[in-house]
Amino acid sequence: MSHVLILGATGHLGQHLPLALQERGHTVHALVRPESLASGDAVKQAQVDALRRRGVVLHPGSLQDDASLRAACAGIDVVISAVTGEQLGEQPKLFAAMLEAGVQRFLPSEFGIDTQQPEAGRCALVDWKRGVQAAVKASGVPYTMVYANGFASYWAASLGQIGLFAPPATSVRVFGDGDTPGHFVQPEDIARYVACIIDDPRTENREVGLFPADNRRTQNELIAQWESVRGATLGRENIDAATVDWLIGDAAGKPERMMEWIVLQLVRSVWIDGALAERRDGVLDATRLYPDVGYTRVDDFVAGFAAPSATASLSDPVQAYLKALNAGDTTALSSCFAQDYRSDQPGYPGRAFCGREVVVRNHVQLFERGTVRAQVQSATTTKPDASGVRRNYLELTYDLNRHDGTTDLLVGTIVFGATDKEIRWGRLHLQPVDRAELDLEIDALIDQSRGIQ
């Protein structure tokens, strides 16, 4: 099997690549900035620790350090770049190191819109990637361009309103007529397809896309699915193509609005121009090449965010935690907790701990194993005490779907003490449930768990 070097191994997609590659028998390496190896940032440190625990070989270095690139590429068969932002344009700095090391395949950081779909000038991010793609093809390094289309965690979770990581509570912006389709795939599924692509001779020097038939959805269809599982109707703010063009023009050339400008161009490409709708001639379809890999159905993914409206009474940071948990977003989750957060499990006294960094580390490990869906059955809160802390009582189920196909179910109650800004303490009363006994009613299991409070 291959030795695979990942750049961007702690990113939104990159964090899923090590497990997917190891499951295929590959040895995984990661280029990690030296400052990240000893970071005081709880999230970054937890992510690096997760790579170590998984047995990933860490190489200190960066795209600005040629010597570190040569050292990292030595003995490597495949390089996968999952970098973002300004680092996209720095990927050609890898060419010399890869050629010297005899790297057999390079996957540049595409993993989104088919770079050849939008017209030049319609989307700056795609234009930048198109320039890198041309350089890759001219470099002499064997390559595969992988177009994952839309990340479901960005596009489907937000019902098309990119920038959110969970469905909006009351209203949604609909771009164009809302009937332009796109294909959407979860990052962990993308990683599994990538693990198949890297050493398949059929994909060498080719372009490969992900076009799951069940995940071709319009924005209106995503909204309708959410409304169906919630049993409520969202308000709609319709934004036509001319307005999107005006907003893009208004943000252009203003450094403080660059991210807004880029996001608006992506929105135009996806929901108005249809850049995720169809497979271009000459692009292979990974879902057909590897039919046994499987993928998360986007309808199921959206439905996983559903929770009774009773959660609206919860403190803001508790609601934000539930959204971040279901989205697998460690960064957003970290901001919900106080630095000195205290956790107790009365049924398991030895599991008590203090500190936000422990919360982050625990959830990084959880997300490593699979996806989590927290379903709130009922919730209530008390009035704030003298320090502004309200008690938030949640009756809920935790459903963990591991990457290896096994599942765990926890049911019970959680009490969070939270201000309007942060969760300060928590008491967890959760019980594991045997899947073979799921003929029992969930409500009965929750009632049973109350007895340990």
d(CA 47, CA 434): 31
Known catalytic membership, residue 129: yes
User: And the tokens for 236?
Assistant: 């709609």
Closest CA to 240 of 272, 269, 265, 266: 272
- Report d(CA 145, CA 143) in Å as an integer: 7
Bridge partners (DSSP) of residue 402 are: 370
Neighbours of 150 (CB within 10 A): 24
What would you measure as the largest C-alpha separation in the chain, in angstroms? 68
Using the CB atoms, write b or e for 329-352: b if 16+ within 10 Å. Answer: bbebbbebbbeebebbbeeeeeee
Cα 122 to Cα 127: distance, rounded to the nearest angstrom = 8
Active-site residue (options: 93, 129, 254, 421): 129
CB-count exposure of residue 164 (10 Å: 0-12, 13-18, 19+): middle
Q: CA 108, 112, 113 angle in degrees (round to 5)?
A: 115
- Is residue 411 within 8 A of residue 431, CB to CB? The reply is yes
Catalytic residues: 129
